[in-house]
A and B are shown apart, each in its own frame.
Chain A
Amino acid sequence: MKAHTENVKKGDIKLQINGLSVELNGTVILDELSLQLHEYEFLSLLGPSGCGKSTLLKTIGGILPVSSGEIRLDGELINSKPAYRRGAVIVFQDMRLFPNMNVAENVAYPLRVQGVKKADRLVRAEKYLEHVKLGGLGARRISQLSGGQQQRVALARALAAEPKLLLLDEPFSSLDENLREDMRQLVKDLHREFGMTTIMVTHDRQEALSMADRVAIMFDGRIAQTGTPEELIESPADERVSGYFGSAKQ
Chain B
Amino acid sequence: MRDRLSAYQMKRRAGNRAGSRTMRIVLALTVFVILLPVIVTMIWTVTGRWPWPSMLPQSYTMRTLQELFSGSSPLYEILWGSVIIATVVAILGTLIALMTARATEIYRIRGRRLVSWAAMLPLIVPGTVFAMGIQVILIRMGLGDTVTGVILVHLVAALPYCVFIMTDITAAVGNSLEEQAQLLGAGPGRAFFDVSVPQLMPGILSSASMAYIISYSQYFTTLLAGGGKVKTLALVMVPYIQSGDRALSSVYAVTFVGSALLVFFIFEALIHRIMRTES
Binding site for B on A (CB under 8 A): 61-63, 82-85, 87-90, 92, 94, 96, 98-101, 105, 109-110, 113-114, 157-158, 161
Is B195 on the interface with A (CB-CB < 8 A)? Answer: yes
Q: Is the CB of A109 within 8 A of B181?
A: yes
Whether the pair B177, A113 counts as a contact (CB closer than 8 A) is no
B72 at the interface (CB under 8 A from A): no
- Once the chains bind, are B279 and A62 in contact (CB under 8 Å)? no
**Chain B positions within 8 Å of A89 at CB level:** 183-184
CB distance from A70 to the nearest CB of B (A): 20
Give chain A nearest CB distance to B198 CB in angstroms: 4
Q: Please give, as numbers and ranges, the residues of chain A lying within 8 Å of B195 by CB-CB distance.
A: 98, 100
A84:B279 contact, CB within 8 angstroms: no
Contact B183 A90 (CB under 8 A): yes
Instruction: Say which residue of A83, A101, A161 sits within 8 Å of B279 (CB atoms).
Output: A101
Is the pair B186, A84 in contact by a Cβ cutoff of 8 Å?
Answer: yes
B199 touches A100 (CB 8 A): yes
A157 adjacent to B183 (CB under 8 Å):
no
Does B30 interact with chain A (Cβ within 8 Å)? no
Contacts of A63 in B (CB 8 A): 179, 182-183
Residues on A with beta carbons closer than 8 Å to the beta carbon of B180? 90, 92, 96, 98
Q: Which residues of A contact B199 (CB under 8 A)?
A: 99-100
Shortest Cβ distance from residue A26 to the other chain B in the assembled complex, whole angstroms: 13
Whether B183 pairs with A113 at a CB distance below 8 angstroms is no
Q: Which residues does chain A contribute within 8 Å of B194, judged by CB atoms?
A: 98, 109
**B200 CB, nearest partner CB in chain A, Å:** 11
A132 to chain B, nearest CB (A): 16
Counting CB contacts under 8 A, is B272 at the interface?
Answer: no
Q: Are B185 and A94 in contact (CB under 8 A)?
A: no
The reply on B11 being an interface residue by CB < 8 A is no
**Are the CB atoms of A62 and B190 closer together than 8 Å?**
no
Q: Roughly how many angstroms separate A161 CA and B180 CA in the complex, as a whole number?
A: 12
Give the number of chain B interface residues (Cβ < 8 Å).
Answer: 19
- Whether A113 pairs with B279 at a CB distance below 8 angstroms is no
Contacts of A94 in B (CB 8 A): 176
Known: A100-B195, A100-B199, A105-B279. A84 touches B188 (CB 8 A): yes
Minimum CB–CB distance for A141 against chain B, Å: 11
Decide if A96 touches B182 in the complex (CB within 8 Å).
Answer: no
CB under 8 Å from chain A, chain B span 147-199: 176-177, 179-188, 190-191, 194-195, 198-199
- Nearest CB on B from A196, distance (A): 14
With the chains together, A82 CA to B188 CA distance in Å?
A: 9
Assess whether B184 is in contact with A62, with CB atoms less than 8 Å apart.
Answer: no
- Are B186 and A62 touching (Cβ within 8 A)? no
Query: Does B185 lie within 8 Å of A100, measured CB to CB?
Result: no
B177: which of A88, A96, A158, A161 is its contact (CB, 8 Å)? A96
Q: B201's closest neighbor in chain A, by CB?
A: A100
Interchain CB contact under 8 A, A161 and B176: no
Which single member of B176, B183, B198 contacts A62 (CB below 8 Å)?
B183
Interfacial chain B residues near A82, Cβ < 8 Å: 182, 187-188
Which among B181, B183, B186 is the interface contact of A61 at CB below 8 angstroms?
A: B183
Q: Which residue of B lies closest to A158 (CB)?
A: B184
A140 to chain B, nearest CB (A): 14
**Alpha-carbon distance A191/B198, docked complex (angstroms):** 34
A82 nearest CB across to chain B (Å): 7
Min distance, Cβ B167 to any Cβ of chain A, angstroms = 21
Using CB atoms, name the residue of chain A closest to B180.
Answer: A96
Residues of A with C-beta under 8 A to B188: 82, 84
Q: How far is the CA of A87 from the CA of B182 in the complex (A)?
A: 10
Beyond the given pairs A62-B183, A98-B194, A161-B184, 6 more chain A to chain B contacts, judged by CB atoms under 8 angstroms and listed by A's residue number, are: A84-B182, A84-B183, A96-B179, A98-B195, A110-B185, A157-B184
Contact (A100, B279) CB under 8 Å given A83-B183, A90-B183: yes
In Å, the complex CA distance between A85 and B187 comes to 8
| Chain A: minimal CB distance from B187 (Å) | 5
A67 vs chain B, min Cβ distance (A): 17
Would you call B177 and A83 a contact (CB within 8 A)?
no
A110 partner residues in chain B, CB cutoff 8 A = 184-185
Q: How far is the CB of A59 from chain B (nearest CB, A)?
A: 12
For A96, the chain B residues whose CB sits under 8 A away are: 176-177, 179-180
* Complex contact B183–A88 (CB within 8 A): yes
Docked Cα-Cα span, A225 to B194, in Å, equals 41
> If the complex has contacts A99-B199, A100-B199, A105-B279, are A83 and B176 also in contact, measured as CB distance less than 8 A?
no
> B272 to chain A: closest CB distance in Å?
13
